[in-house]
Amino acid sequence: MLSLTWFLALSAILFAIGTIGVLTRKNAIVIFMSVELMLNAVNLTLVAFSSFMGDIHGQILVFFSLCVAAAEAAVGLAIVIAIFRNNLTVDITKIKLLRW
């Protein structure tokens, strides 16, 4: 069987890609998708540890984190719509009410 390290390495790569996406992109929706990517990477870590330790509690935690992700997606996309309605753009470099 594959060792645990491979799964953790895959998860780390996906998390880093998500981080780069959050920090470099300008489109608010793409940034939000990168956040989902990072959430998924962490879920993969939890499932891998849960499976390799024969302990089910990690998978229960992933289930709850999926619920939180669904709630977060609904609220976050509502915020994106509200931002678009006020600024007519989702480009975060053009939204600078609180920046200089």
Partner 1 sequence: MVTYLFFLLATLAVGSALATIMSRSTVNSALFLVLNMVSLAGVYLLLKAQFLAIIQILVYAGAIMVLFLFVIMLLNVDDEQTIFSKKTFRNAFGFLLGGIVAGQLFYAIAGYTGVLPDISAEMTSVGTVEAIGKTMFTEYLFPFEVTAILLTVAVVGALFIAQRNPKSQN
Contacting residues toward partner 1, per CB under 8 A: 1-2, 4-10, 12-27, 29-30, 32-34, 36-37, 40, 43-44, 47-48, 50-57, 59-60, 62-64, 66-75, 77-82, 84-85, 90
Amino acid, res. 35: V
Cα gap 51→31, rounded to integer Å: 31
Tally the C-alpha atoms within 13 A of residue 65's C-alpha that lie toward its C-beta: 17
Q: Can you say whether the dihedral through the CA atoms of 20, 22, 25, 30 is positive or negative?
A: positive
At closest approach, how far in Å is the CB of 19 from partner 1?
Answer: 4
At closest approach, how far in Å is the CB of 88 from partner 1?
Answer: 10
At closest approach, how far in Å is the CB of 65 from partner 1?
Answer: 10
Q: Give the CA dihedral 31, 36, 38, 44, nearest 10 degrees.
A: -160
Of the pair 5, 98, the CB lying nearest partner 1 is at 5
Of the pair 40, 95, the CB lying nearest partner 1 is at 40
